[in-house]
Amino acid sequence: MNQIFSSRSMSWLNVFAWLTCIATLFLICSGGMVTSKGVGLAVPDWPTTFGYNMFLFPASKWIGGIFFEHTHRLIASAVGFLTIILAIWLWRSEPRRWVRNLGALALGAVILQGVLGGLRVTMLKDEIGIFHACLAQAFLGLVVVIALVTSKFWSTLSNVIVDPRKLAAIITTAIAITIAIYMQLALGATMRHQHRDLAILDFPTANGAWIPDTSEAALAKINAWRDARALSDVDAFQIWLQMAHRFLAAIIAIAVVAFWLRVRRDAQSIAALKRLSLFWVALVACQITLGAWTIWSNKAADVATAHVGVGAIMLCFGVSISAICWRISHRQVGRPAATGLGAPAFGNTGRLVA
């Protein structure tokens, strides 16, 4: 009976963890909309909202940019409350100490994220906004790991057997791509917070060339053209920052396709990896399309926000794939010789310990 009760409790915990993931993704999209619309300072005070308690601010005043900024704060508060509950739930019911520590780490990260969000308003520093965006993506990845390791699927990975040498290559590639995606998201956050308009307004070319000219004379000509259209001036750094974003996108796209082909060849027995890697390829295609559309639309808020959201989902896939590979590798190295490998192990308290 205790075992059944514990199993149900873990199932609900996993559902709650995935709910926190979805709320965090929604929060990231909300933040992307705030930045894309340039309304990050529509509410000039923090933690209050025009002097009101954040939760008591009259709905009749949620107009214009205030609506996007204020709802972002409310969603952030909801994610904070969910994370507190998740951390407490893990600490009380999760037997694996390292998973409990992940919950504590998530709690610390969400507190830091809230402080950074407030400092961005009170100190008016773009650099804080960039770090705030990067931490949000890292927090999402952390919560996805928590949701994954508390799932029943996690224990079934004990059954999988793959050639260790092939698995080592797969996990190295997955981690490298995931790190590259995170770097790409950081570049995107820097672009969004560092410049009001796009530095390059054409795609796939860049200011009419495949490799942009950023000489002093070329920049003067570009800025004269932009001034005539009421666009902000750009410098060489901003142009090359956007080019770096494009170059890294191409590298990631090639790497994800190569990873999918490697999984099909070397990890046929891991159905989850095959599906996830295929979806990863589809996400890359979608993300490149949204990136081009963002440029062609001169950073239309809804398109740019979708671009941010799909980028976050790509990171989640990378984190999930890397975690699955690590789990399989870890279980193959430490697998006991005479135990039921396919079933989750329960201690004498009836709680899941594998």
Least Cα distance to 153 among 289, 276, 240 occurs for: 276
Distance of alpha carbon 91 from the chain centroid: 25
Q: Is the predicted pLDDT of residue 225 greater than 60, yes or no?
A: yes
Distance of alpha carbon 56 from the chain centroid: 30
What confidence score (pLDDT) does residue 295 get? 92
What confidence score (pLDDT) does residue 8 get? 62
What's the mean pLDDT in 116-136?
85
Band of the pLDDT at 240, cuts 50, 70, 90? very high
What confidence score (pLDDT) does residue 7 get? 59
* Cα separation values, 292 from 182, 208, 213, 245, 283, Å: 19, 15, 21, 12, 14
Q: What angle do CA 58, 60, 66 make, to 5 degrees?
A: 85
Least Cα distance to 148 among 298, 294, 14, 330 occurs for: 14
Residue with tokens 């926000």, as numbered in its chain: 305
Q: Is the predicted pLDDT of residue 292 greater than 50, yes or no?
A: yes
* Other Cβ atoms within 10 Å of 224 Cβ, number: 10
Residue with tokens 């060339």, as numbered in its chain: 209
Model pTM score: 0.87
**301 sits in which H/E element:** helix 301-334
Residue with tokens 């508060």, as numbered in its chain: 77
Cα–Cα dist 145/17, whole Å: 9
Band of the pLDDT at 179, cuts 50, 70, 90? very high
What's the mean pLDDT in 194-203?
81
Q: Is the predicted pLDDT of residue 163 greater than 80, yes or no?
A: no
Encode pLDDT of 17-73 as tens digits.
999 999 999 999 999 898 888 887 888 888 889 989 989 999 999 998 899 999 999
Q: Is the predicted pLDDT of residue 217 greater than 90, yes or no?
A: yes
Q: Is the predicted pLDDT of residue 354 greater than 70, yes or no?
A: no
Hey, is 209 helix, strand or coil? Answer: strand
C-beta of residue 256 within 8 angstroms of C-beta of residue 173:
no
Cα–Cα dist 305/31, whole Å: 8
56: which DSSP letter?
G
Band of the pLDDT at 176, cuts 50, 70, 90? very high
CB-based burial of residue 253 (10 Å sphere; 0-12 exposed, 13-18 middle, 19+ buried)?
middle
Least Cα distance to 323 among 282, 283, 270 occurs for: 270
